[in-house]
Structures are given as C-alpha cells and as structure tokens.
Structure 1
Amino acid sequence: MGSATLSRLTAEALGTAVLVFFGVGALIVGGGPLLAGAVGLMIAAAAAAWIFGGHFNPWLTLAAAVRGSVDWVGGALIIAAQLVGGFVGGLLMWLCYGENGVAAGLGANRLSEAASSGKGLIAAIVAEALAVFVIACVMFAVGDGERSGISLGLAYAGGTLAIAAVTSASLNFARTFGPELALTVAGGASDWSDIWVFAVSGAIGAVLAGLLYPRLKGAAS
C-alpha cells in the first residue's frame, strides 16, 4: 500500500471521515463518557479498515514512510487526503448534531489544565508520543489494510483510555485537525493554541516507530 493512486487517496479520505465521525461522534452522543468514546473509536477504526483499507491516520503514514513502505511524495499526498477526510468528518458531526455538537466542541482535542505547561506539558507530549508509537507498531505487526481492523481498533481504544485524562487522546492528527477546523467554520469556541503539542508528539511517536520497530522485531525473533 505504498502508492498514492486516486483510489487510495479517495479511500483514505473517506475512511478518515468515517473514523472521525463515528469515533469522535460517540463522545458527543454519549455526553462525553470516556468508555463510550473508546468503544466508538474501536468500532469505527475496525469498520474503516475493513471497508476501505488504509491508514486513516497521518502518523501511521509517516511511520510507514520512515520505515520505507510508503514513498515520501505518496505519503504526503495520503496525509493531505486524511486531513481532508478529518475535516469532512468534523463537518458531518456539525451537520448531524447541530448547535449542540458545536457547543460540545465537536469533540475537538483539549489538553488538561495540568498539561498546559511545565512538567505536565512534557508528560502530555510523552503520553501522546508513546500511544502513537504503540499504534504504529501494532500496524507494522499485523499489516495495514483490511487485516488491521480489530488490532488497530483495540490499540486506539487502549490509548484513549490510557491518556484521555491528560490530552483528550488525539492519537491521530486528522482527528485533531478536522474537528478543530470544522468548529472554526461553525463559529464555535475553537482553540488552535495547543495544536503544536499534538503535531510534535505524534510525529515523535511515528518516527520512533518507523526507526525502532524493525530493530525491536529483530531482537524478539
């Protein structure tokens, strides 16, 4: 899955939209309970993988590019398609949930108060990076596409439950960027001040996974 064909880009955009709409939408419909969001994300990730086959997550694509299974130009195009899909997912939440959804922030990621500065901020970056690292390694272990559905869904759910109290669990830059942009378009209380935290932490986790997974796998075999 290393080439950015039109069908691949379309599948990535649609799959990411599905992942964001159903996964993040579960938080809005459920009134914010963490377990509801984790279960919704798990189901959405599995369904998207089975239907479309793809990464649906810029960090997974970046990790694959670092490892060499996706070329860099193709990877950049795939990431662009995923960001578009994330935005479409955010717009679908706005369409379905209306002003109530906007008032709930369309599920946009927010750091906890403790994670906004100092040691708490470092902890937030480490938490996101570690979660992305694990998810990317799971993808490498099981392969991407249709086969990754349940495995990645469980990894997303576990990551959400583990770090949501600190970072509201981004794990996927399209999931962070899309709802935030949709919230801005909808005239809601958007906040772009912490977007760099999710960008930097996710990139760190993805790059480390791409570099270290082959060595970790080799050491275990």
Structure 2
Amino acid sequence: MGRVAIGGVQEATAPDVLRAVLAEFFATFLFVFAGVGSAIAYGKILPPGDLTPAGLVAIALAHGIALFVVITATANISGGHVNPAVTLGLAVEGQITFLRGSLYWIAQLLGSAAASLILKFITSGEVVPVHALGAKESVITGLVWEIVTTFGLVFTVYATAVDSRAKGTVGGIAPIAIGFIVLANILAAAPFSGASMNPARSFGPALVTWNWQNHWIYWVGPLIGGSLAGWTYGEIFLVPVTHTPLANDEY
C-alpha cells in the first residue's frame, strides 16, 4: 500500500485529466447502453424472468464485446476503466491518484445514468432490468459472488494491462482479455448474483427505475473484490515501481 497517491488540486483542471474524465463518461455510456440494451431486447423477445441458456450467452456476449470495444477506444485517453471497482483497484496501488479516480467515478456514474435514461425513453416503456439476486440466493452468497468475480476482473486488468512485463507479450490483448473475463463471469454468476462487477453498471438502471433493493451488494462486493485484487497483484506479483506515482499514471 506504499504506492498510494492522493493527487493535487491542480490535477482536477489539467486538460489531459478533463479529456480522460470525458472519455470515461462516453465509454461507460456506450458500455451500459449496449449491455442494458441487450437485456431489454431479450426481455422484449421473451417473457420477463424467462432466462434461457441462449439468452444468458447473448447478454454475456453483448457485455464482453462492448467492454472490449470501449476499452480499446479509450485506453490511450483515460486508461479505459469504465468501472469504479477497476478505478479503486488501481488507486490502492498508486496506478492512479485518488483525486483523479474520484473524477472518474463521477463520470462513470453519469455515463451509466445517461445511457439508462435514454434506453428507458427509446424502448417505449420496456422494463429496464436491474441487477438482482437469483431465486433462493441470500445477500451473503450474492456478495461473495460479486467479490470473487470482480477480483477476477481486476486481477486480469493488472496482469494484462498494468504489469510492465506484459507490454511485449500479452499487453496487446489486454482489452479482449478483460472483455472475456467479464463474459465468462456473467455466464457463471448471472443466475446467482446478476454478475454486475461494476457499481456504475448497476447504478444507472437502479436510478431510472428507482429500484434500490439489495443495491448495496453491487457496490460493496465489487469495491471489496477490486481492492483485494489490486492489493494482491500489486504487492505480490507486480514489479516494484521506482518512482513516486504521478498524476497521469494510468494503466
């Protein structure tokens, strides 16, 4: 935890930071629009709650592909976080300052809210689905699912996009690796916890439907999982840095 960086006030008005924050807004907007949109489309085709294996695969693919695309599009601008849990996981090891990370959080939540509002408007009254626990699932098991799946996501981010040893080997496939782990986690966890792994992804739909039932799980679980993954990879596997974290450090 020795690499934590708070950041200076002047960072909030730096042009590169403002561009990065705007990129996070649009990246999260596009990701949520595609992900939630795929769930709405599925609900329009089949009765609500009637999740088939094919539907699960389709929704997982939509999330995984959309995440791959938006990370690829914004990695060189903001680092392509698209997720408060990823941002926090990077901040605990000094890969981004907490000040910059807080601005990313605001942009990510606004992007999700904007996408969900537009979807509610253009789908002509279709239900905007929110993340929810599966039948017979307890809040404890749901929380553990979110912790473990988000741990896997942020661990993958570190292994493929942060670790300098990956730059010449697997660094080029980081966006697709991150998209694939989200896709796989949705296939595994969606029937149990909803497989959010992303507080922003859960926030927008909850806001526009004003359905906050068990919403805390989709904050606490991912933030714990992301922080643990960041600390684990950073303290055990990451090559030690030789400089104080900079305001523009990003993955």
- Cα distance in 2 for partners of 1:70, 1:7 equals 15
Unaligned stretches of 5+ in structure 1?
A: 185-190
What's the % identity of the aligned pairs? 31
- Cα distance in 1 for partners of 2:131, 2:139 equals 14
Among residues 206, 209, 215, which one is paired with 1:195 in the alignment? 215
In the alignment, which residue of structure 1 is the partner of 2:148? 130
Q: Deviations over 1:8-41 (max 9, x none)?
A: 0000000001110101211221235211110000
Unaligned stretches of 5+ in structure 2?
A: 1-6, 44-50, 163-170, 240-251
Q: Deviations over 1:26-71 (max 9, x none)?
A: 1221235211110000110011112222100000000000111011
**Aligned residues of 1:50 and 1:147 also touching (Cα < 8 A):** no
Within a 5 Å distance, the mapping from 1:1-221 to structure 2 comes to 5-31=17-43, 33-53=55-75, 54-100=80-126, 104=127, 106-115=128-137, 120-143=138-161, 148-184=174-210, 191-217=211-237
- Cα distance in 1 for partners of 2:178, 2:118 equals 23
Query: Which is helix-richer, 1 or 2?
Result: 1
- Cα distance in 1 for partners of 2:58, 2:27 equals 20
**Aligned residues of 1:27 and 1:34 also touching (Cα < 8 A):** no
In the alignment, which residue of structure 2 is the partner of 1:188? none
TM-score (norm: length of structure 1): 0.85
Q: Which is higher, the Rg of structure 1 or of structure 2? A: 2
Report the number of matched residues. 204
How far off is 1:216 after superposition? 4.3
**Aligned residues of 1:114 and 1:121 also touching (Cα < 8 A):** no
**Aligned residues of 2:115 and 2:204 also touching (Cα < 8 A):** yes
Which amino acid is 2:144 matched to? V
How far off is 1:113 after superposition? 3.4
Q: Deviations over 1:159-192 (max 9, x none)?
A: 11111111111111000001111223xxxxxx21
In the alignment, which residue of structure 1 is the partner of 2:46? none
- Cα distance in 2 for partners of 1:156, 1:84 equals 22
SS of 2:192's equivalent in the other structure is: helix
How far off is 1:147 after superposition? 5.4
**Aligned residues of 1:23 and 1:41 also touching (Cα < 8 A):** yes
SS of 1:77's equivalent in the other structure is: helix
TM-score (norm: length of structure 2): 0.76
Q: Deviations over 1:76-134 (max 9, x none)?
A: 1111110111111111211331202xxx3x1211112322xxxx321111110000000
How far off is 1:215 after superposition? 4.0
**1:90–1:49: structure 2 CA closer, same or farther, 3 Å change rule?**
same
